[in-house]
Amino acid sequence: MLRHLRTPSHPDLLVGTDTGDDAAVWRRPGGRALIATVDFFTPIVDDARTWGAIAAANAASDVYAMGGRPLFALNIVAWPRARLPLDLLGEVLAGGEQTATAGGWLVVGGHTVDGEEPLYGQAVIGELDEADLLANTGGLPGQALVLTKALGTGLVATATKRLDPVAVQPSGRLGATYAAAVAGMTRLNAQAAEVARRAGATAATDVTGFGLVGHLRKVAAGSALGARIDLERLPVLEGVRGLIDEGFVPAGTGRNLADVAGSLRWVSEAARSHWEPVIGDPQTSGGLLFSCPPESADEAVAQLLASGHQAARIGELRADLGPGTIELV
């Protein structure tokens, strides 16, 4: 994921409120605001409809992370039509439509071009009350950190690409792990955002391509705070440890860890070698990471677990650590 150039400032552009450099918030009359975001990627699973569903959920994630709701979207497609049938593209688009219908937004059009490899995603427009905006700069000292989905989708996607397709079938060696990853990636963050709001969250981000520590550092630094993470509390997809041992670590993991290396404080070298592939794993359609008062965090996690999320209270924001510093204990 590349960082984008900023557009010139404007009085109606709410600067510094995005969650990942790929969204903007535009002030409207009456205390309303519009959110514009876009995301797309190459296939990460073998089933076309599932890929479409995941890509649409991922594209809308920034809207939920900011406390908004999606209104409508435009499809973005590159397709090698000389090599892949258009019927297969129809399945991809059907998957995107399926997710949009579940989330209550409309797919109103889009644009398709010829490409060397297939790409799919959506440009999503959402709305919110400006007073409800959740930025990634609003954390407060002592707040608890809650993560709403399990980590490891980058590892699963890498293994899926390298192994024979039979491996991810229900009876295959990755059947259970793959099914859990797909369930997480196709789950919208709408309910997680609502739970965060009720818990009194003041800061939030979605966890995607920069991995847990990349997105957490952005929240901590933007809030002029540090963060402490309890590694044993991190929710991790079942079977991911085996994928690490087999070497299915994405190239993006190393880049993510290199970006934050100066901000991490490890309790030990053993912990570092054990957890680096997890905390740096680039996520697709990952969960929300939000900060809220500690007295409401456990109830928020209980609500998320009851609704099928693999959520956990993973740490806290700290005033006694340097801005952007992440202590891993």
Mean pLDDT across the stretch 40-48?
Answer: 94
Q: Mind giving me the DSSP string for 100-140?
A: HHHHT-EEEEEEEEE-SS-EEEEEEEEEEEGGG--BTT---
**Nearest to 225, CA basis, from 320, 292, 293:** 320
Per-state percent for the chain, helix, strand, coil, to nearest 5: 40, 25, 35
Structure tokens belonging to residue 131 = 């007073």
Tens digit of each residue's pLDDT (9 = 90 or more) over 22-40: 688 998 999 999 999 999 9
Least confident of 107-116, 131-140, 146-155, 279-288: 131-140
Q: Is the pLDDT of residue 18 over 50?
A: no
Find all residues with CB under 8 Å of 5, minimum gap 6, and list them.
Answer: none
pLDDT of residue 8: 57
Give the CA-trace dihedral at 53, 205, 210, 308, to 10 degrees. -50
Label residue 65 by pLDDT band (50, 70, 90): very high
Domains defined for the chain, CATH in brackets: 23-132 (3.30.1330.10), 144-328 (3.90.650.10)
pLDDT of residue 5: 44
Mean pLDDT across the stretch 303-317?
Answer: 98
Q: Is the pLDDT of residue 6 over 70?
A: no
Q: Work out the mean pLDDT of the chain and round it to a whole number.
A: 93
pLDDT of residue 10: 73
Alpha carbon distance 320, 228 (integer Å): 10
Q: Mind giving me the DSSP string for 51-94?
A: HHHHHHHHHHHHHHHTT-EEEEEEEEEEE-TTTS-HHHHHHHHH
Rg, C-alpha atoms of the chain: 19
Alpha carbon distance 286, 58 (integer Å): 8
pLDDT of residue 17: 43
The answer to whether 234 and 312 are in contact (CB under 8 A) is: yes
Label residue 60 by pLDDT band (50, 70, 90): very high
Pairing of strands 226-229, 326-328: parallel
The answer to whether 45 and 98 are in contact (CB under 8 A) is: no
Q: What is the pTM of this model?
A: 0.93
Q: Tally Cβ neighbours within 10 Å of residue 195.
A: 25
